Amino acid sequence: MLELKNIYKAFNPGTINEKVALNGLSLKLNEGDFVTIIGGNGAGKSTMLNAIAGVWKVDEGQIIIDGVDVTSKPEHKRAKYLGRVFQDPMMGTAADMEIQENMALAFRRGKARGLGWGINKKEREQYRELLKTLDLGLEDRMTSKVGLLSGGQRQALTLLMATLVKPKLLLLDEHTAALDPKTAAKVLELSDKIIAEYNLTALMVTHNMNDAIKHGNRLIMMHEGRIIYDVSGEEKKNLTIDELLEKFTQSSGEQFANDRALLSSKR
Amino acid sequence: MNILTSILNSLPGAVAQGLIWGVMAIGLYITYKILNVSDLTVDGSICTGGAVCVMMMINGYSLPVAMLCAFLAGMLCGLATGIFHTAMGIPAILAGILTQLALYSVNLKILGKANQAINADKYGLLVSLRNVKNVPFYKNTILIAIIFVVALVALLYWFFGTAKGCSLRATGSNLSMSRAQGINTKSNTVLGLMISNGMVALSGALLAQYQGYADVSMGRGAIVTGLAAIIIGTAIFGKISKNFAVQLIAVALGGVVYWIVYQVIICLGLDADLLKLLSALVVAVFLAVPYIKSEYFSKPKKRKEGAVNA
């Protein structure tokens, strides 16, 4: 489904601020894999997702999605295969446009955008039904500007938009990190539901070790731009936070020195 | 009393000129408000439009052909800025300045000299400052300008409702989201700049006919006039409805208000040399209003005793 082969990416190369963000990263996903990704700050989690999405070009390596080599394809061409939800709730939706217009934009992901109407009546009904499933009352506010919604509502909408056209791969980049715990739990639950319902292949970055263990069928841990631990199946199900922390110390030779990860694992 | 008569006398001209500049302001609205790009190309492309139209008519081409070519020439100006910006990574504002400067030479070459007159008696012009009063209504420049504005608003209303148009609006609203949804933001930015400058050039073609000449410096400060029209229009008429068509009409009416105020100020005897200074200051003040409001006049609301921190 997804194959990353020996990816390298350095930011600010040749300067004192040089940072090797991805350092020989390789990963292979099977169809239907729901992978949670953990790691300290600067481990390369979000960078990996951005590399897949094509936000910039990688320095070395190959990215293959569903058998297609997309390494040199620009971001908007890769969008055809990908559904994305960002950490910042503001990033995934167009604030100046209506809820239904945002959905109509997402509905046309991967298709040619011509001079036909940007949204039609039939779609509208379809969107209303889908919005109902969110249980946020958005189905009655379809002509409201998205900028009027709360962060949680926007994130839920983004999630819906990312999966409106079934993506080959869903990229969730700490998509609950900016939300309050209650909303975060709700959005996460929704993610689970959608992924299961459409049998999606998904990558989910999280800082919350509990969530990482609880969700998905596979867990990977990143450190310094590489995957240092990859676990799936029964073994993953039976993981505990303490084991994870220990694994981190073992594999990286460092303490998991990340307050945020530790704190969020306690809640 | 004299002043009042002269104001009243100049009113039809101001309205006509305002509507023609309204066309320009609507073009500018596409980049400034929809694409969220400050495009300074317009100072050059408005003149390009006027120059192309006048020179083609002098050389025997029919009015519709000349105006169509003016529109296309404007689109080329937008294309140049678009390429500077998207393919060469130059910041939009600088890309516009570069094109604008380059266009000064281009416009001089098109015109052959700094100023080319076109005689309203010899050529069948669509609009002219002679045709604002005491002519049959169907020849009246105000009516023709209104038809232009309405037709363009209708066209844009349709376009920005299409899938392509929606993707353009998304590009202006949120670049990351647009790319994530598979929208080619670069080509959309170029397209937006082209449509915008095409319309600006069209208004230049109307303006040249209206005043009876194309002048190489006719576009100086056009962006400020256009912004003034947008700001005045949306402030006065934009509140009526958030509907896109209403917003565009509001912008055109903003142009009319601008030119009426301009005429009144002239009739009151203000030194015409100072008008550009005044326009710039007025626009600066209006652009500053949101910032000043938030920076100096927003007081943190006092929380009520015992209110729960939500």
The list of chain B residues with pLDDT below 50 reads 306-310
Chain B CB contacts of A76 below 8 Å:
178-179, 182-185
Closest residue to A96, CB basis, from B173, B184, B185:
B173
Q: Which two tokens stand for residue A26?
A: 């390789």
DSSP structural state of residue B298 = P
- Residue A254's pLDDT is what? 66
CB contact under 8 A, B178 and A94: yes
pLDDT > 70 fraction of chain A, expressed in percent and rounded: 94
Run of H or E residues at B37: none
Q: Fill in the amino acid letter for B19.
A: L
CB A135 within 8 A of CB A80: no
Q: Is the pLDDT of residue A263 over 70?
A: no
Flag whether residue A108 sits within 8 Å of chain B, measured between CB atoms.
yes
Confidence of residue A267 (pLDDT cuts 50, 70, 90): very low
Contact B163 A118 (CB under 8 A): yes
pTM for the model: 0.91
Q: Cβ of A113 and B167 within 8 Å?
A: yes
Is residue B186 a contact partner of residue B171, using CB atoms and an 8 Å limit?
no
Q: Hey, are the CB atoms on B180 and A75 less than 8 Å from each other?
A: yes
Q: How confident is the model at residue A262 (pLDDT cuts 50, 70, 90)?
A: low
Among B181, B183, B244, pick the best mutation site for testing chain A contact (most A Cβ within 10 A).
B181
Cα atoms found within 13 Å of the Cα of residue A230, Cβ hemisphere only: 10
Residue with tokens 């949204």: A119
For residue B207, give the amino acid letter: L
Q: Give the gap in angstroms from C-alpha B72 to the nearest C-alpha of chain A.
A: 20
CA quadruple B296, A147, B232, B234: dihedral sign: negative
Partner-chain contact B185 A76, CB within 8 Å: yes
pLDDT mean over A113-126: 92
Indicate the SS3 state at residue B6: helix
Whether A75 has its CB under 8 Å from any CB of chain B: the answer is yes
**Pick from B166, B174, B182: CB nearest A95:** B174
Nearest-Cα distance to chain B for A108, in Å, is 8
A42-75 residue pLDDT tens: 899 999 999 999 999 999 999 999 999 999 999 9
Token representation of residue B116: 């080319």
pLDDT at B306: 47
Residues of A in Cβ contact (< 8 Å) with B161 = 117-118
pLDDT in tens, A168-217: 999 999 999 989 888 899 999 999 999 999 999 999 999 888 899 999 99
Q: Which residue has the higher pLDDT, A254 or B236?
A: B236
Which chain A residue shows the shortest CA-CA distance from B244? Answer: A97
Alpha carbon distance B33, B245 (integer Å):
14
- Asked whether the predicted pLDDT for residue A119 surpasses 60, the reply is yes
Average confidence score pLDDT of chain A:
91
Domains of chain B by start residue, with CATH: 2-295 (1.10.3470)
Q: Which residue of B has its CA nearest to A165?
A: B181
The number of C-beta contacts closer than 8 angstroms across A and B is 91
- Substitution target in A52, A90, A96, A105 with the highest count of B β-carbons within 10 Å is A105
Q: How far apart are CA A44 and CA A17, in angstroms?
A: 16
Q: Is A95 within 8 Å of chain B by CB?
A: yes
pLDDT recorded at residue B150: 97
Cross-chain Cβ contact B181/A79 below 8 Å = yes
DSSP3 helix / strand / coil % (chain B, rounded to 5): 75, 0, 25
In whole angstroms, what is the distance from residue A155 CA to residue A176 CA?
A: 8
- Nearest-by-Cβ selection for B166 from A76, A93, A118: A118
**Cross-chain residue pair B165–A118, CB shorter than 8 Å:** yes
Q: What is the pLDDT of residue B8?
A: 86
Give the β-pairing of A169-173 and A202-205.
parallel
